[in-house]
């Protein structure tokens, strides 16, 4: 823990104890842990992963988690979650149930419970990522210091930018997944035309997300005149990895290349010369395929800006607790700023 963060941790301990109930909640899974702050780096205790659809509410997940923690006494919590907080309610179309902060505070007996954008939390945590937590995707010999982009295709497409400063860190949350999808190849243009025939706005996450892979697979089937059976993202990825389905392989290859092009655009839009972290979602499942794909070529294929992109490292994060740590770190940062 940094010297600047210690006063916040001390205030937290005085007011609520040294532990925070922290969660990383997506449309499919909720990852929960108790984060403790001491003299060294924060630690996660009792970490568990829940399938959201198996529980009637987020409160029920927390109650199950806390019931299994013999020594966990927490009075405050932080939730990393996609979406917006409107008054007391978290607005997110991908969650299987509504989330009311006021009701959860009362049900769980918490004095303080806050929500932070999921990729904001992950961006906070990337400051503490080590080499053993990542797989290099694009290696840069001479990286430039600067803002860091965190992006990942999960249930939707999330993205945030971490801007390091001398005294504090600024995290810029984005809605990159809702921005209009751009196309840079003949195949992508054909897919985009097909989608625009059905809707006036094609958000990026309609293709670059877990469900987006399903949409891309179906669109390619229509373009190729090939009947496509309903499949989950995992089933499409597994068929592609096994080499058992040419259309699945084409879909996954197009997905990786398209993602590379969009991530390169985001780096230029946000000036993220400090590097890129690809986080969570389907990517760890297709790690080897991603490394062999056109991702890096498309990431760097930006005309006159190619030399700049060649100096931007891209790493795949392999850290299941990152969102949990980030939510707690964000909570602590807010304690420090309000003290």
Residues 325, 121: Cα–Cα separation, whole Å:
8
User: What mean pLDDT do residues 27-49 have?
Assistant: 84
The tens digit of pLDDT for each residue in 176-230 reads: 999 999 999 999 999 999 999 999 999 999 999 999 999 999 999 999 999 998 8
* pLDDT > 70: percent of the chain: 91
> DSSP class of residue 223?
H
- Residue with the bigger pLDDT between 234 and 128: it is 234
Q: Are 98 and 88 in contact, with CB atoms under 8 Å apart?
A: no
User: Please, which pLDDT band fits residue 330 given cuts at 50, 70 and 90?
Assistant: confident
CATH of the domain spanning 132-317, picked from 3.40.367.20, 3.50.50.60, 3.40.50.970, 1.10.287.180: 3.40.367.20
The tens digit of pLDDT for each residue in 63-79 reads: 999 988 756 678 899 99
- Contacts with 111 (C-beta within 8 Å, 6 or more apart), sequence order: 15, 16, 75, 76, 105
User: What mean pLDDT do residues 255-267 have?
Assistant: 98
Look up residue 65 and give its two tokens.
Answer: 């988690």
- Residue with the bigger pLDDT between 280 and 145: it is 145
Predicted local confidence at residue 15, as pLDDT: 45
The tens digit of pLDDT for each residue in 279-298 reads: 877 899 999 999 999 999 99
Q: Are 313 and 139 in contact, with CB atoms under 8 Å apart?
A: yes
> DSSP class of residue 311?
T
Does residue 91 surpass a pLDDT of 80?
Answer: no
- Rounded to whole angstroms, the maximal C-alpha distance in the chain is 65
Closest CA to 99 of 44, 59, 69, 142: 59
Closest CA to 103 of 66, 140, 160, 60: 60
CATH number of 6-124+321-338: 3.30.420.40
Closest CA to 176 of 276, 79, 95: 276
Give the CA angle between residues 26, 30, 35 to the nearest 5°: 120
Predicted local confidence at residue 161, as pLDDT: 95
Per-residue CA distances from 172 to 124, 153, 255, 323 (Å) = 10, 18, 26, 16
Does residue 130 surpass a pLDDT of 90?
Answer: no
Residues 133, 72: Cα–Cα separation, whole Å:
27
Burial code (b: 16+ CB inside 10 Å, e: under 16) for 119-133 equals bbbbbbbbeebeeeb
- Dihedral sign for Cα 16, 20, 21, 24, please: positive
User: Please, which pLDDT band fits residue 119 given cuts at 50, 70 and 90?
Assistant: confident
- Dihedral sign for Cα 304, 307, 313, 314, please: positive
User: Please, which pLDDT band fits residue 316 given cuts at 50, 70 and 90?
Assistant: very high
Closest CA to 181 of 199, 160, 155, 163: 199
- Domain ranges within the chain, ordered by starting residue: 6-124+321-338, 132-317
Q: How far is CA 173 from the centre of its chain?
A: 11
Predicted local confidence at residue 70, as pLDDT: 58
- Residue with the bigger pLDDT between 246 and 170: it is 246
């Amino acid at each position: 823990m940094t010297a600047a963060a210690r006063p916040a941790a001390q205030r937290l301990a005085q007011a609520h104890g040294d532990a925070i109930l922290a969660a990383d909640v997506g449309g499919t899974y909720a990852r929960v842990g108790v984060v403790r702050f001491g003299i060294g780096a924060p630690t996660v205790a009792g970490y568990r992963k829940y399938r959201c659809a198996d529980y009637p509410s987020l409160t029920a997940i927390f109650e199950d988690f806390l019931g299994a923690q013999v020594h966990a006494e927490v009075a405050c919590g932080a939730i990393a979650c996609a979406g917006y907080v409107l008054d007391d309610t978290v607005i997110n179309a991908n969650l299987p149930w509504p989330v009311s902060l006021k009701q959860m505070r009362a049900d769980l007996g918490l004095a303080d419970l806050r929500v932070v954008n999921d990729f904001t939390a992950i961006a906070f945590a990337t400051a503490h990522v080590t080499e053993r937590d990542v797989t290099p995707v694009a290696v840069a010999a001479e990286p430039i210091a600067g803002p860091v982009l965190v992006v990942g295709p999960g249930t939707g497409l999330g993205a945030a930018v971490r801007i390091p400063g001398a005294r504090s860190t600024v995290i810029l949350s984005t809605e990159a997944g809702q921005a209009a999808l751009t196309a840079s190849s003949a195949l992508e243009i054909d897919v985009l035309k097909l989608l625009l025939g059905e809707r006036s706005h094609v958000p990026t996450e309609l293709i670059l997300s877990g469900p987006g892979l399903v949409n891309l697979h179906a669109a390619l089937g229509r373009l190729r005149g090939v009947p496509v059976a309903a499949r989950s993202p995992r089933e499409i990825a597994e068929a592609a990895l096994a080499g058992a389905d040419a259309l699945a392989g084409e879909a996954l290859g197009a997905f990786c290349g398209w993602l590379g092009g969009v991530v390169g655009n985001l780096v230029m839009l946000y000036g993220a010369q400090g590097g890129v972290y690809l986080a969570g979602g389907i990517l760890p499942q297709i790690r080897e395929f991603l490394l062999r794909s056109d991702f890096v070529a498309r990431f760097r294929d930006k005309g006159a800006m190619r030399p700049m992109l060649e100096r931007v490292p891209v790493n795949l994060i392999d850290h299941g607790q990152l969102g949990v740590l980030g939510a707690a770190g964000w909570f602590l940062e807010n304690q420090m700023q309000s003290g």
